[in-house]
Amino acid sequence: MDITHLKYFVEVARQKSFTKAAQTLHVSQPSLSKAVRLLEGEWNKQLFRRRGHRIELTNEACAVLPQIEALVRQFEVLEHQMHHTNDTESGELSLGIPPMIGSSFLSPIIRDFMAAYPQISLKVSEHGSPQIAQLVQDNQLQVGFVTLPVSDFTNPDTQTYIFNHQPLYYVMQPDSPFADYESVTLHEIRKEPLVFFHPSFSLYDIILGRFQEIGVVPQIVAQSNNWDFITELVKSGLGTAILPQTICERLNPDQIVSIPIEPRINWVLGMIWNEQSMIVPAIRLWVNYFRSHVVEERLVHGEDPGPTIFGDAKK
């Protein structure tokens, strides 16, 4: 048994398919199958069983999978450290960012970070918060930005840094009957047409959950994950929307009116990463740089600089 065999086992378990795992790992399927058979022979345990065209872990394999995943992660971190021992300001960094967060907040920070550390190779990918959380947990992303809370996150080494906490506002045309209100409740707007978010994004669950708490089904007329498109649909008269305060502050008040929702619904943004990965220079540099930037911004605006760090992404 060697670390390669363990990596193969983890990928097959993740993909639930020898074919897909082989494609991801860029190895032949016979080589992958042989590695799994060697593990089964050494441990004298069956690791997978077939269910039609799919495979699934046996109970014995499920029991040891988290430990094996941890071993593989630790080895990858160690391997990266040994390759970059004498080069503390270089390496690779992968960030996962929801489209709704990137353009409004992170773009200038990423620009300044790359100017400060040009030797770091940066890869940015866009996903919804649930997928980003899963990719960080699976060690396929080093750092992720998500809307909190994140469900189904089981890695105890995950660190969470809350960097933004703001209310959601109700957005409408100036001729709306609610335009002169100081605030509005979800019950009051229950029959209003809403331009809503796509189910793959966390704000969908957060807002829909609040409607469900009062026994209301929102009148959804369109769905999008793009701030600009949502506001354009509101301008066109298709419907109203619920958006974060910072987005509303950028809108032209002559064209769109926004008011607070009561009780308050918060949009909470956090950065997540694996604490063990902080040994990797590029990750450590980014996490510290980002946190320093947030602290500076809070001080400029007279806010409490923090820290706001948790060891569990569900908080």
Give the CATH number for residue 117: 3.40.190.10
The backbone region for 177, taken as left when phi is positive above 0, alpha when psi lies in -120 to 50, beta otherwise, is alpha
311, part of any domain: no
For residue 311, the tally of other CB atoms under 10 A from its CB is 11
- Max Cα distance, the chain (Å): 73
Sort 177 into a burial class: Cβ within 10 Å, 0-12 / 13-18 / 19+: exposed
**What is the tally of structural domains in the chain?**
3
198, part of any domain: yes
**151 and 297 part of one domain:** yes
pLDDT per position as a tens digit, 17-50: 888 888 888 888 888 899 899 998 999 989 999 8
125, part of any domain: yes
The verdict on pTM exceeding 0.75 is no
310, part of any domain: no
Residue ranges making up the domain that contains 67: 3-84
**137 and 277 part of one domain:** yes
Joined tokens for residue 150: 């994140």
Q: What is the pLDDT along the chain (315 residues), one digit of tens a residue?
A: 688 889 889 889 888 888 888 888 888 888 889 989 999 899 998 999 988 778 899 999 998 888 888 888 777 767 655 655 555 677 889 999 987 776 667 888 999 999 999 999 999 999 888 889 989 988 889 999 999 887 666 677 889 999 988 999 999 999 999 999 999 999 999 999 999 998 878 889 999 999 999 999 999 999 998 889 999 999 999 999 999 998 999 999 999 999 999 999 999 999 999 888 888 889 999 999 999 888 777 655 566 555 455 554 444
Give residue 313's pLDDT. Answer: 46
315, part of any domain: no
308, part of any domain: no
Give residue 315's pLDDT. Answer: 43
**159 and 273 part of one domain:** yes
Give residue 108's pLDDT. Answer: 87
Give the CATH number for residue 57: 1.10.10.10
